[in-house]
Amino acid sequence: MITGNEIRTRFLKFFEQRGHTIVSSSSLVPHNDPTLLFTNAGMNQFKDLFLGKEKRDYTRATSSQKCVRAGGKHNDLENVGRTARHHTFFEMLGNFSFGDYFKKEAIAYAWEFLTEEMGLDKNHLYVTVYTDDDEAADIWHDQEGVPRERIFRFGEKDNFWSMGDTGPCGPCTEIFWDNGPEVGCDSPDCNVGCDCDRYMEIWNNVFMQFDRSADGTLTPLPKPSVDTRGSSPTTTPTCCAPLSLLSKRSAARSTATTSTTASPCGLSPTTVGPPPF
Ligand SMILES: [Zn+2]
């Protein structure tokens, strides 16, 4: 059995082997960000790098960030305890590119980690892209061989990230694990994107591609970046359900959970826990 600690280590090592610097989790209370009461995403400590205000001696980073879901807009706090994937305290695994690699590599890394490093069955995986992000859809199909019928397109609410009304923003692509019909809601419409626990988001690649001006104009960023598994202070951090959600049927094994809130199945999908393999 793989423990949560092992998954975390393997994730960080996987990305370290691919040129990423392992960066420690930052404090749960941000030191220098007056817009945040608590750290709520892996990307928080890298905000100034994404905005080009800060330079470090690396352009690729990976981290396991402790996060709190405690309040604020669009953070799904009301879902805590009601679903198997919303919790108040969790770790968010992430890999980040600051003007380095972009969609092709980010998608390849995600797919390789899940299907090869973790050995997840591709037949249980689906992906989503932003409605007009043909580039991402084509990468999923042409590069990774994901059948078109397993690639779903969603709009701004689900597959477009922004830090606020203006500033860096862009489409995202997500990966879902199908827990099977027995945990679904039995609705005839139950499919990827349903609010029930059948299709669980386990990965999100955010492509910071544009700079949005006050009048809504999207200008391509000179150096687009990648924030994987990230969420922003102003968008819904549902994109952080890590691999432990896959251990839904094995709640007793979630040894590495950091959740402070019990879910219906006693699991901590937004923490790092053991997978079902
Ligand atoms: Zn459903």
Q: How far apart are CA 216 and CA 231, in angstroms?
A: 21
Q: How far apart are CA 208 and CA 102, in angstroms?
A: 9
Phi-psi region of 23 (alpha: psi -120 to 50; beta: other; left: phi over 0): beta
User: How does pLDDT run along the chain (277 residues), one tens digit per residue?
Assistant: 788 899 999 999 999 999 999 999 999 998 888 878 888 888 889 988 887 888 999 999 999 999 998 876 667 788 888 877 788 898 999 999 999 999 999 999 999 999 999 999 999 999 999 999 999 999 999 999 999 999 999 999 889 988 677 888 899 999 999 999 999 999 999 999 998 889 998 999 999 998 888 998 999 988 899 998 633 222 233 333 444 444 333 322 222 233 333 232 223 333 333 333 3
The alpha carbon of 87 and the centre of ligand 1 are apart by a number of angstroms equal to 20
Positive/negative CA dihedral, 229, 233, 236, 237: positive
User: The tokens 């790098």 sit on which residue?
Assistant: 49
The alpha carbon of 263 and the centre of ligand 1 are apart by a number of angstroms equal to 17
The alpha carbon of 191 and the centre of ligand 1 are apart by a number of angstroms equal to 6
Which positions ≥6 away from 159 have C-beta within 8 Å? 128, 129, 130, 131, 133, 153, 171, 172, 173, 174
The alpha carbon of 247 and the centre of ligand 1 are apart by a number of angstroms equal to 19
The alpha carbon of 249 and the centre of ligand 1 are apart by a number of angstroms equal to 17
The alpha carbon of 181 and the centre of ligand 1 are apart by a number of angstroms equal to 9
